[in-house]
Structure 1
Amino acid sequence: MKMKLIAVAVGAALSVPAVAMADVSIYGRAHVSVDYLDDGARYSETNLSSNSSRLGFKGDHEINPDLKAFFQIEQQINFTTGSSDGGTSFATRDTFVGLGGNFGAIQVGRFDSPFKVARGPFNLFGDQVGDMNNLARVTAGRLDERYDNTIQYTTPDFSGFNVKVAYSMYRGQSLNITDTTANNEDSDAFSTSLNYLGGPLEASLAYEKVEEDTLRGEADSIRAAVAYKIVDNFKLVGFYQTTDFDGVSTTTSAQRDAGTFNVYGLGGEFAIAKNTALKATWMTNDSDADDSDATMWVVGIEHKLDKAVRVYANYAVVDNDDNVAYSPWMQSRTANPQNQSVVNGVNEAAGEKAAGFTVGLRYDF
């Protein structure tokens, strides 16, 4: 009798994990490239880079026909050294849990803000040399983040439209209101977007505001991104963003000007064969600071070997005004050489043209 009870207990124990894991999947991305990078001054080298590579777990569970629970745990991985880009902590990328149903979806955790996601329609070179973030996500006025302690509501789909509203309560593990350098009492952030996907059109309009103790200081921004498929094999994309940076109480007017800018651009993708496309974008960053504008253009070709694997080659150039030294490789990469041309406190790359040529492989699994 005891043996039968033990057998039943063991069988039940083994069956529970099987049920719990039934709707859980493992996914990831291995994205590596070989890049030749030249900042126009002293730095001109070839690098191997891992570009926002990741490993994740996600799943959902139906509570009843009108309600389900869902989760995601995602970690950035460096495929060139084997280390985690997030340091010692786990779940450095989008990690959340939530409930969804006819009312839409509510999720809590740490994940891309609606403002950040809204750049998607324009971002033809995401996580590559020439990524739009190299001009749209710069200076102390940069937003476009993955915030801690966030709760987000996403509406149901209404004829292709949905709205996302997110609020981040504070940075770190808990709210600290003491008068110290660790104060984060005013570190909340608000982000929202209106999104449309239907037929040949994909578009997003977003707004984000962060308070004084969030990241680099108080700022707010509006962005719009659109992609329109004119014909089956040609897509036109456009982008506009305006950012106003106030900083903190000690921020100078010059620093505010440096963090306040407009950025806009156009681009297109032309399919020359079933699995091969030519892509190009042009962008400019118009800063309130004197002689601090920059323009970037990118051309590339991408070939999909199948649904999971693609290869590509891009060439990108950033043309800087005298007081800035932006490059087309500053974002979403492990190979990100910076300040290589600073001599006696002077960046000799300021005012120069920085260029990068890359050949990459991306495998989504």
Structure 2
Amino acid sequence: MRKRITLPLLAGLLAAVPATAQDKASFNIYGTLIAYGENVEATGATRATAYNNSMVTIAPTATNVPARFRFTCSTSNIGFKGDYKVDGDNFKVIWQLESSASVDGDQPSVLAGRNSCIGIAGKTWGTLFVGSWDTPYKVPQIFTGALRGLFPFDFSLTGNPGFNVPGTVTNSGRAGTKNDASFNRRQGNSLQYWSPDWSGFSFRLAYSANESKPTTDAATTLQYNPTVISALLTYKIGGLTLNYGYEQHNDYFGLSQLTGNATAPSLTNTGSKDEGHEFLAFYVIKETGTRITAMVEQLKYHNDETVIGKVNEYKRTAWAASVQQTFGQHKIWGVYSNAADGSATVLGTANTSTSNLGASQVSLGYAYSVAKTADVFATFYQITNKEAATYGAFPVLSGINPGADTKGFGVGILYTF
């Protein structure tokens, strides 16, 4: 009923606008609606203390997450976007307001809570805007999945180091939570520039301002300066797309969120520098309907630690690959990924261990295209943690303990407009 009222009203308003203004301005409504129901559990939590290492303390009383059914709306959204042409495609004002659409009723939807911006764009010189938007580092990972959106059966071991860090986050600055360690980010207070395509080459740059910089008393309080810098270089030739992404978090203290053996921001831990490097490739064979994706990533967390015996650095490498095959209205896919144990340093000692912090993931899926904009699908996935690891799917089940493996299977429907 709302649509029947709104569209005629909008049409009437547009009709009242002079034709020249209509030619200059554009307005679009778009969205993605997803409902995914699954049975999911986490079993096999480590019950021994023999696997303790420099990063994780294992409790013999660790519990599992019993099997349950749940519905998730993944990255369902509704958005409004448009532009105003000042000089055709050579110069225009652009804007977008995108909100989540929680069709399962779990969370309230916040206006402009997803990718939103205002800026300017030109066909020959690129796009410049201010807003809250996926960082350039995150962009290629968005397209690794077989379906539009983000699901628990997609790459779950990249963009985060485990330790119950969420698979994706939206923040405007340093939050003081595990979100600060995530490299799969929608970042607010950001300035982004996107270049045009130059013979297959393009790049994106982003800077998130230090609005979360605290007020300080120089005599008693730590002064830190949280910022995010993100970049992506892309090259496309034929069916091959190559991406290199880099992201740097200054004074986000991600390491302090990973382990209790790292000091929180203080006068003995006055700064941090966390870095992500990713290489990601897509290869599409249109003639056969085949799509191959491969990715390798290194995350590194470093604190300016001065307390002897505390962890001051952790880094780990992960890789992932997927194959999708489309035939007619049908699509099947498989995913495998692996995260290494990584390595760490403890200030003032050589006795460090990161044993059993790694994990692996397997996912299988099938989708049937009911229409060009609608799919129904069925999936199975499992994340297998080593005895001290705590990787989880998106959305993460609460209370994943070291060694607990997440397993799920379910069906869903997806519609875009």
Q: TM-score, normalization: structure 1?
A: 0.82
Q: Distance in 1 between matches of 2:246 and 2:333?
A: 28
Q: Distance in 2 between matches of 1:188 and 1:37?
A: 36
Of 199, 210, 229 in structure 2, the residue corresponding to residue 159 of structure 1 is 199
Q: State yes or no: 1:35 paired with 2:59.
A: no
The Cα shift of 1:39 comes to 0.6
Deviates more, 1:34-43 or 1:20-29: 20-29
Of 57, 68, 91 in structure 2, the residue corresponding to residue 67 of structure 1 is 91
The Cα shift of 1:287 comes to 2.8
Q: CA RMSD in A?
A: 3.0
Q: Which residue is 1:147 aligned to?
A: 187
Q: Which residue is 2:144 aligned to?
A: 122
Distance 1:38 1:185, change over 3 A: same
Counterpart amino acid of 1:113?
A: T
The Cα shift of 1:98 comes to 1.2
**Contact preservation (8 Å) 1:241, 1:262:** yes
Q: Distance in 2 between matches of 1:26 and 1:146?
A: 21
Distance 1:42 1:169, change over 3 A: closer
Q: State yes or no: 1:264 paired with 2:319.
A: yes
The Cα shift of 1:265 comes to 1.4
Task: Give the match's secondary structure for 2:282.
Answer: strand
Task: Give the match's secondary structure for 1:136.
Answer: coil
Q: State yes or no: 1:244 paired with 2:300.
A: yes
The Cα shift of 1:110 comes to 1.1
The Cα shift of 1:290 comes to 2.0
Of 391, 397, 402 in structure 2, the residue corresponding to residue 337 of structure 1 is 397
**Contact preservation (8 Å) 1:121, 1:203:** no
Q: Distance in 1 between matches of 2:130 and 2:307?
A: 32
Q: Distance in 1 between matches of 2:308 and 2:388?
A: 17
| Deviation string, structure 1 residues 78-120 (Cα, Å, up to 9, x no partner) | 111174255xxx3111111111111111111110110010224
Counterpart amino acid of 1:114?
A: P
**Contact preservation (8 Å) 1:99, 1:106:** yes
Of 283, 293, 299 in structure 1, the residue corresponding to residue 337 of structure 2 is 283
Task: Give the match's secondary structure for 2:280.
Answer: strand
Distance 1:203 1:92, change over 3 A: same
Q: Distance in 2 between matches of 1:132 and 1:304?
A: 22
**Contact preservation (8 Å) 1:177, 1:185:** no
**Contact preservation (8 Å) 2:24, 2:85:** no
The Cα shift of 1:197 comes to 3.1
Q: Distance in 2 between matches of 1:214 and 1:290?
A: 23
Of 218, 235, 251 in structure 2, the residue corresponding to residue 212 of structure 1 is 251
The Cα shift of 1:243 comes to 0.7
Q: Distance in 1 between matches of 2:14 and 2:297?
A: 56
Q: Which residue is 1:76 aligned to?
A: 100
Q: Which residue is 2:114 aligned to?
A: 93
**Contact preservation (8 Å) 2:232, 2:245:** yes
The Cα shift of 1:245 comes to 0.4
The Cα shift of 1:188 comes to 1.0
Distance 1:156 1:235, change over 3 A: same
The Cα shift of 1:121 comes to 4.5
**Contact preservation (8 Å) 1:188, 1:214:** no
Q: Which residue is 1:304 aligned to?
A: 369
Task: Give the match's secondary structure for 1:92.
Answer: coil
Deviates more, 1:245-254 or 1:278-287: 245-254
The unaligned stretches of length 5 or more in structure 1 are 1-10, 342-346
Q: Which residue is 1:108 aligned to?
A: 130
**Contact preservation (8 Å) 2:24, 2:84:** no
Deviates more, 1:14-23 or 1:91-100: 14-23
**Contact preservation (8 Å) 1:129, 1:314:** no
Q: Distance in 2 between matches of 1:114 and 1:107?
A: 13
The unaligned stretches of length 5 or more in structure 2 are 1-12, 44-63, 164-177, 258-271, 343-353
Identical residues among aligned pairs (%): 20
Q: Distance in 2 between matches of 1:253 and 1:223?
A: 31
Q: Which residue is 1:178 aligned to?
A: 216
Q: Distance in 1 between matches of 2:221 and 2:83?
A: 37
Task: Give the match's secondary structure for 1:23.
Answer: strand
**Contact preservation (8 Å) 1:111, 1:146:** yes
| Deviation string, structure 1 residues 172-201 (Cα, Å, up to 9, x no partner) | 5xx544259998851111111111234211
Q: Distance in 1 between matches of 2:234 and 2:31?
A: 26
Q: Distance in 2 between matches of 1:253 and 1:280?
A: 43
Task: Give the match's secondary structure for 1:313.
Answer: strand
Q: Which residue is 1:8 aligned to?
A: none
Task: Give the match's secondary structure for 1:354.
Answer: strand
Distance 1:75 1:207, change over 3 A: same
Distance 1:206 1:135, change over 3 A: closer
Q: Which residue is 2:277 aligned to?
A: 222
Task: Give the match's secondary structure for 1:119.
Answer: helix
Counterpart amino acid of 1:337?
A: L
The Cα shift of 1:248 comes to 6.2
Q: Distance in 2 between matches of 1:291 and 1:308?
A: 43
The Cα shift of 1:218 comes to 3.0
Distance 1:182 1:269, change over 3 A: farther
Counterpart amino acid of 1:234?
A: T
**Contact preservation (8 Å) 1:72, 1:96:** yes
